Every structure is written in structure tokens, then in C-alpha cells.
A and B are shown apart, each in its own frame.
Chain A
């Protein structure tokens, strides 16, 4: 467990030393969501309707930005090989890296989303559901994304390829995440969607580090 915490601490520290990368993804999220009203028009009813989808799609894309860097630097300087050789199971260390990625790319989105939701005329209840859905959904994005990041490690055109691999797998998260907010707005209650999102998160938390580990071992062969 100490090793996992050390990995998380190290990744957070590295990110804090180079804040621009984290902030770029955040500003990307803000800018993309702000572009939609400009493209679609300022009618509050329409904006309120598209808000969950827009915020979720923007969150997916913003998470994608940081994915490629999840293992790239460690691969380049040999840290990854040391992790593979270390006595701590690689799956745990990978779990730590995924957790750090979520804290840097997912958590800020969760905290920022209500502010952006206000631009789309969402009420307080909907904002709460949106935050909760993102809180459950963004770790899922980091977990699934880690598999793609490990598979495309060190490949030509890795970034575009990564989005081609990962975005179709994000579909359930998008549907249930945006669906939760929509169901709340429609007065149906978001419980079902949130439960499914949590179930997917549990499933991914179990399998994704394992698949990522297998992919990393192949990449390092």
C-alpha cells in the first residue's frame, strides 16, 4: 500500500511541477463547453436540454488529453521497467497511476462542472446530480483509458489512435452519466443511472488495472 501511495504522491508532485499540462486540459473543458452555446444559440430551454450531453462529451475529450502521458514519460526514462521489476505487484502500481491521473484530470472536472452547468441554466438539484455522475464516471474514464494508453505506448500517431480505441468504450459511461442528469431534469430520478454507473465503475476497477498490466508487459517485451 505504501508503494501505491508513493506512486500517487510522485505523479501528483510531477504534475505540480509542470502545472501547464493539467491546466490545459481544464481550460480545454471550459472552452469546449462554452463553444456550444455560441454554435447553437442562447435559448435557455435548448441549452438546458443539451447541457448534460455537452458537459459529458467535453469531459470525455478533456480526459483523453492527459491519457497519452499517463505512461509515456515513465516509459521514456525507464521508470516503467523498474516498476515491472519491483516486488510490488504491477497491478497495484498501475492502480496508483490511474488514481493519480483521475485526481489530476477527473477531479478538477467534477469540481468545475457546476460552474459550467450554471451557464447552461441547470438548477441546483441537477448540478448536484451532474457532480455525482461525474464523480462516479470520471474514474471509469481513467480506468478504461489506461488500457488504451498502455496499448498505444510508444506507437506512431499514438494520440489519435488512442482516441479511436478508447472513445467507443466510453459510450456506456456517456449514456448513463448524461442520462442521470437528463432523468433528474425530467423528474424521473437519477438513482437507476447512478447505480449502473457505479456498477460499471466497480467492474472496471476490478478488470482495468489487470488488462492495463498485461498491455504494459507486452509493450515492454
Chain B
């Protein structure tokens, strides 16, 4: 009976996860490309020109998915970190550190595209608005996580210390968000909400496809990075020395 179930914990070991990740990477790249093509086509050719903002609004198709991913990746990172602390699995910590650079990149991208969008629309590169500020602080949290892990030589301690920081951060993110929200708000209200949406339907689809593209891209690069981390950390083991790509 038990034999029919997939033994998920089998893949908690770097040795068995390494080839699995290798097999999954092309699929996620393929999905990212497919969603990207559809998303870009929808966002550039199908979505109508915005009545108020003209063509400039089209940066939303990069800006919003990037900021969604930056927040989502932090949650995933914290979940991996918590899993690593609770179950003491090595792979969880590796996944958390593999996700951090992508999350930081997404946060940076969200800020950068936001600045490009803000200049023509609001006439300024930067405002101290609640969402922008909390995105900036999220970026700092990512940098802190990466810096802490980089400062610790022992990878196991780096994983665990990073995990605690990620969990403290994830408790703090909503507090920071609401504190800056009450502090100042100028950002346009959320354009997307369940049930009622103030956007054209095609715009929404374009954004969703772009978000899926970003999501698949994030998974693909995180898996590539975790493979590199596995090779680095397990370099002393027999199975790594037996790998074809290592031998050649």
C-alpha cells in the first residue's frame, strides 16, 4: 500500500533532489517562455490604451508581477526556512538561500520600474508612499538575509540563522506595511481585487500571464541556483564526484 505513495521525503535529500531539479528546470523555462510570449502579446497588442495614462501604463505588466513575486518569494523563503528549522532538513535551507537573490531582484525590479512609471505619471521618480516604502524595506530585508548568510562560514549555521531572520522578517512585513500605510498614502489604490476590478479584462489577463511567467522564471532560476549550492556544499561526497558534469 505504502509503495504506491510517492515518498516525498526522498527528495529532501540533496542527492535525490539534484537530478530531479535538473529534470524540472527545462519544463519551468518552457512554461516561463510560453506564458511570457502570451503575456507580452496580450500586454502590447491586445490590451487597449489607457484613457488617462496613454501607452506609458504598459509598464504595469512588468511592475505589478515583479512586486507580487517579490512579496510571494519572501513568503516562500520564510516557509522553507521554517520547514528547515522544524524538520532539520538540509535542502530547505538551501532552497531558502537559492530564493533570496531572485526575491531581491524582483523587489529591485519593482522599485525600478515603479520609478520609470512614476516619472511620466506623477512627475517624480520617487515618492515616500506607503507601498513604495514597504517595498524598499522588503528589499532591505532581502539584503539583510543575503548578507547574514554570506557572513557565516558554516553553512548549517548560516541556514538556521537565516531562517530565524526570515521568520522574524515575515512577522514584521505586515506590521511594517501597515505602519507605513498609516504614515502616508499617495499610491493609486489597488487596481486588482477579487470580484471587482477597475481594469479592462484584457489588461488583467496580460498581467496574470506575465505574473505566471515571472513565477515560472523564479522557480527555474531558484532550481538552477539550488543545484549549484548542492554541488558546492556536497563537493566532498562520492555521488557528486561520480556526476558526469563534475568528472568532465
Interface set of A (CB-CB < 8 Å, partner B): 147, 151-152, 155-158, 161, 164-165, 167-169, 171-172, 175-176, 179, 196, 200, 207, 211, 214-215, 218-219, 221
Contacts and interface: CB of A to CB of B under 8 A. Distances in A.
Interface residues of B, number: 27
Given A152-B148, A161-B148, A171-B179, 9 more contacts: A164-B144, A168-B137, A169-B176, A171-B180, A172-B176, A175-B180, A207-B171, A218-B164, A221-B156
Interface of B: 85, 137, 140-141, 143-144, 147-148, 151-152, 156-157, 160-161, 164-165, 167-169, 171-172, 175-176, 179-180, 182-183
16 contacts: A147-B164, A147-B168, A152-B151, A155-B151, A161-B147, A164-B140, A164-B144, A165-B144, A165-B147, A165-B148, A167-B140, A175-B183, A211-B164, A211-B168, A218-B160, A221-B157
Contacts, number: 67
A155 B157 CA distance: 11
B246 to A, nearest CB: 30
Contact of B179 (A147, A172, A207): A172
Contacts of A175: 179-180, 182-183
A156 B172 contact: no
B12 to A, nearest CB: 20
B165 A161 contact: no
Question: Secondary structure of the A side of the interface?
Answer: helix
Contact of B165 (A151, A171, A179, A196): A151
Contacts of B148: 151-152, 161, 165
A168 B133 CA distance: 11
A50 to B, nearest CB: 15
Contacts of B151: 152, 155-158, 161
B217 to A, nearest CB: 26
A157 B168 CA distance: 21
Contacts of B141: 168
A148 to B, nearest CB: 8
A165 B165 contact: yes
Instruction: Among B151, B167, B171, B180, find the residue whose CB has the most chain A CB atoms closer than 10 A.
Output: B151
Contact of B176 (A164, A171, A179): A171
Interface centre among A155, A157, A207, A211 (most CB of B within 10 A): A155
A211 B81 CA distance: 14
Contacts of B156: 221
